[in-house]
Structures are given as C-alpha cells and as structure tokens.
C-alpha cells in the first residue's frame, strides 16, 4: 500500500515539470510537434527494455487491441497534446488551477458509471485539498481567483483533465496477464501512430522551428522522465491503490511545480505555501483514512 503512494507521488513530481515545459516552450515549438517528439523519445529509450515482453505477448495484445487503442488515444495521443495547446494561450495560474480538477472528475465519473459513493470523508478531504490549492495559486489574495478570466486554453486544459480522469479509471481494467512493460510500450507506440497524421498536418501549416539546446533538453525530459518513468509509476500506483487514491495524490502537483519554480526561476516560497502544503496534506489524509477504515471492515 505504501509503495503505491510513493509511486503516485513520484509520478506527480515528474509530471509537474511538464507544465513548466508547456509554458516555457509555448513560442518555440508547436504543441503537436512537442507531443510527437516527446513520445518518440520515450519509445526509443524504452524499446530495449520492453521489446522482448511486447513481442512475447503479441497474442494478448491482439485480443485486447480495442482497449489498448482507446487508452493509447486518451493517455498518450490526446492528454499531453491538449496541455501543450493550453500552454499556448492560457496563463500559468489558470493551468495550475484547472489541472487539479482531474481527481474530482474521477470521483464524478466513478459515481456516474460505477456507482462509487462520494462519502463525507472524501468530500471533506476534497475541500481541504481545494483550499490548499487556492491558497497556493492565489498567494492568499482571493481577488486573484475571483478575477480569473477564461480563454480557449482553459477549455483545452479542462478537456485534458477529463481525458486523464477517464484514462486513469480505464487503467483499472488493464489485462492482468499483460506485462506492464509490454502494456506501456504498446500504448506509447499506438499513441504515437495516432499522432502522426496530425503531426504531418501541423508541420505543413505552421512556420518551421529550430531545435536548439533548450528544446532538445526539454524534449528529453518530457520524453524520458515525464513520459516513460512517470507513466510506469502512475500505472503501478493505480494497480496498488486504485484511481481515486492516486487521484488524491495528484493534488500535490502544484507543490512540486512551486518548488521547481523556486529552484529554476528564483520564485520565493513564503508562509502561504506552508499553509497550502498543510491543507493539502490534511485533505489527502482525511479522504484516504476513510478508505483505509472501510478496507479493514
């Protein structure tokens, strides 16, 4: 159980850097191209480790091809591409605020389609987490939240949150006899294949870009760490603790993003950040305490 939480935390920490890349490269490389090269790097790095189990389980892949195509389109082709589109037009504060709605969509969709209850403890936990996120984003000034105006990028980000919620729920139904390495490489390859026609279209309609050191370094990061390693960790977390518990951990993403901003952008960390961390930690504990108690019963 503890290992599952560690996996979810590590995946979230790695994904936090993806938002910085999305914002930092919004004028340097088109969004679909960034997504395409990201997954290409992930596949090339992962191939030596996963090609053997993939080839050894081709028969299982064929049987579950429809399922694999669906999760590949959602988790690989669409999700991060939408984030990169969002980073073109929306602000950092909006990106951070909207990104943490994903676990809420998991709860709602789980309730609608699977009848899972949103109990008092879960509701209280979500409120504490939301309070911590609002404190972190607004830096204690509620007028920042009240005066937010939404752009096309915000709509893209809401779409990304919903897509990732569906993807996380579907991971619970991954074929148990399919090796995790084979599953991951298969979804990466399928997701990249589905991206190819859109990459070609974007290449023909957008101005050419130059692969400088910043772009190459960023692509290597999102391709190896925010894609390959983070997705493996997240899938393992889903297997061990479920999508709802893992979703609660995802609420810590702005904390990691704030830390990265402090390290790389020299942004200050004040008491408001400490209050935010405390509120988020309490919220995650309250929501998961109930689940642990029910498990014992």
The candidate with the shortest Cα–Cα distance to 218, out of 41, 81, 85, is: 41
**Residue 294 pLDDT:** 46
Q: Which helix (H) or strand (E) holds 200?
A: helix 180-205
**Burial of residue 296 (number of CB atoms within 10 Å: 0-12, 13-18, 19+):** exposed
| Distance separating alpha carbons of residues 181 and 191, to the nearest angstrom | 15
The total number of structural domains in the chain stands at 1
**Residue 62 pLDDT:** 96
Q: Within a domain: residue 291?
A: no
81-131: per-residue pLDDT in tens? 999 999 888 766 667 667 777 777 777 788 787 777 777 877 887 788 778
| Distance separating alpha carbons of residues 154 and 156, to the nearest angstrom | 5
Q: Within a domain: residue 78?
A: yes
80 vs 24, higher pLDDT: 80
pTM of the complete model = 0.79
Q: Within a domain: residue 12?
A: yes
Range of the domain at 25: 2-117+149-243
For the residues 73-84, what does the mean pLDDT come to?
A: 93
| Distance separating alpha carbons of residues 54 and 179, to the nearest angstrom | 8
Considering all CA atoms of the chain, what is the largest pairwise distance in Å, rounded to the nearest integer? 60
**Residue 295 pLDDT:** 44
| Distance separating alpha carbons of residues 135 and 153, to the nearest angstrom | 22
56 vs 251, higher pLDDT: 56
**Residue 150 pLDDT:** 64
**Residue 171 pLDDT:** 87
Q: Within a domain: residue 288?
A: no
Q: Within a domain: residue 282?
A: no
Q: Within a domain: residue 251?
A: no
164-211: per-residue pLDDT in tens? 889 988 988 889 899 989 998 999 999 999 999 999 999 999 988 888
**Residue 200 pLDDT:** 96
| pLDDT band at 292; cut points 50, 70, 90 | very low
For the residues 235-252, what does the mean pLDDT come to?
A: 80
Q: Within a domain: residue 100?
A: yes
Give me the DSSP letters along 226-286. Answer: IIIIHHHHHHHHHHHHHHHHHHHHHTTHHHHHHHHHHHHH-----HHHHHHHHHHHHHHHH
Q: What are phi and psi of 269, to 5 degrees?
A: -115, 120
**Residue 139 pLDDT:** 65
Rounded to the nearest 5 degrees, what angle is found at the Cα of 70, between the Cα atoms of 187 and 65?
A: 70
33-50: per-residue pLDDT in tens? 999 999 999 999 999 989
Q: Within a domain: residue 297?
A: no
The candidate with the shortest Cα–Cα distance to 211, out of 222, 202, 220, is: 220
Question: Which of these ranges, 19-23, 137-141, 273-277, 282-286, has the smallest mean pLDDT?
Answer: 137-141
């Amino acid at each position: 159980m503890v290992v599952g939480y560690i996996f979810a935390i590590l995946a979230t920490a790695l994904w936090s850097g993806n938002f910085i890349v999305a914002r930092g490269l919004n004028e340097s490389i088109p969004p679909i191209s960034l997504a395409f090269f990201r997954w290409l790097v992930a596949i090339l790095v992962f191939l030596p480790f996963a090609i053997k189990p993939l080839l050894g389980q081709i028969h299982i892949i064929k049987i579950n091809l429809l399922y694999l195509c669906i999760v590949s389109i959602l988790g690989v082709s669409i999700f991060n591409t939408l984030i990169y589109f969002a980073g073109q037009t929306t602000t950092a504060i909006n990106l951070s605020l909207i990104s943490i709605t994903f676990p809420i969509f998991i709860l709602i969709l789980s309730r609608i389609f699977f009848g899972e209850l949103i109990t008092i403890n879960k509701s209280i936990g979500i409120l504490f987490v939301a309070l911590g996120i609002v404190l972190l984003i607004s830096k204690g000034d509620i007028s920042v939240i009240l005066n937010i105006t939404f752009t096309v990028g915000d709509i893209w980000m809401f779409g990304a949150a919903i897509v990732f919620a569906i993807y996380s729920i579907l991971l619970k139904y991954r074929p148990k006899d399919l090796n995790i390495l084979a599953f991951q490489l298969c979804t990466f390859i399928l997701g990249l294949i589905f991206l190819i026609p859109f990459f070609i279209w974007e290449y023909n309609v957008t101005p050419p870009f130059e692969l400088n050191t910043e772009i190459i370094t960023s692509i290597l990061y999102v391709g190896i760490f925010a894609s390959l390693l983070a997705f493996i960790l997240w899938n393992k977390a889903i297997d061990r603790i479920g999508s709802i518990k893992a979703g609660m951990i995802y609420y810590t993403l702005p904390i990691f993003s704030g830390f990265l901003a402090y390290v790389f952008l020299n942004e200050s960390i004040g008491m408001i950040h400490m209050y935010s961390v405390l509120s988020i930690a309490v919220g995650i504990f309250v929501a998961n305490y109930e689940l642990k108690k029910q498990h014992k019963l």
